[in-house]
Every structure is written in structure tokens, then in C-alpha cells.
Amino acid sequence: MGKFVVKKTPTGIKFDLRASNFQILATSEVYSSRKACLGGIQSVKKNCGAPIEDQTLKKPEELKNPKYEVYKDKAGEFRFRLRAPNGENIVAANDGYKTKAGCIKGIESIKENAPKAETIDE
């Protein structure tokens, strides 16, 4: 089972969603408070089942939020971000993926791990 790992940063507090093998699946933005960070975790749990909008297509089907957005970064690697119903970024891929299939697999891992993941402090 996955875990949300909450940790302090020089500018606030953030969380990583880790798989059972400790691999980081996704990273949050930096929040100003622990309460806001925990709210972000709840938002991931609530919205992690969202559909995927493939922005790498010539004419992507634009989906309503919440949704995952799959895109290519400047280095040509595939990445994703999960958007909340209000359009805010909740989490994003920590690392780029060489293939779109790998990126989709990362999203599927979030869908599998996030709903029942416990929250721990680092």
C-alpha cells in the first residue's frame, strides 16, 4: 500500500505519494501550513480516479476538471499533473517518463495507491 509522506521544506510543507516500494509516484506543491498540505492529500484521494486528458495528441479532447493531464516537457519526456475540480494542480509527476505508456502506468499506480494510502511525517 502507498503512503503520503509529509515533509518540511525551506519554504513550507509538501507531500510525496510513494508506492509500496518507496518509489515517488507524485509530488505536491509547497503549502504554507500542515493543514493545507493535509487538505491537498484529501483532494488527491478524492480526485485520483479522474480521467486522463492526453495533451500530446494533435487535437486532444479537452476534459473537465478533475483530470490528469499528460504532456511532453521541454526535454521530450512524458509527464502528468492531476488537476482539482477548481483547476489547481494537486500533484505532478516527480520524474519524466521516456514513454507515454510509462506515464500512464504512473497514473494508474496513483489511482491504485492513493485512496487507501496512510499519511506519515518524515
Mean pLDDT of 59-79: 96
Mean pLDDT of 8-27: 94
Q: Tell me the CATH number for domain 3-121.
A: 2.30.29.80
For residue 24, pLDDT over 90 is answered with yes
Residue extents of the structural domains in the chain:
3-121
pLDDT-derived band at 52 (thresholds 50, 70, 90) equals: very high
> How far is Cα 30 from Cα 21, in angstroms, rounded to an integer?
24
- Alpha carbon 65 to its chain's center: 14
pTM over 0.85: yes
Q: Give φ, ψ of 19 to 5 degrees.
A: -75, 175
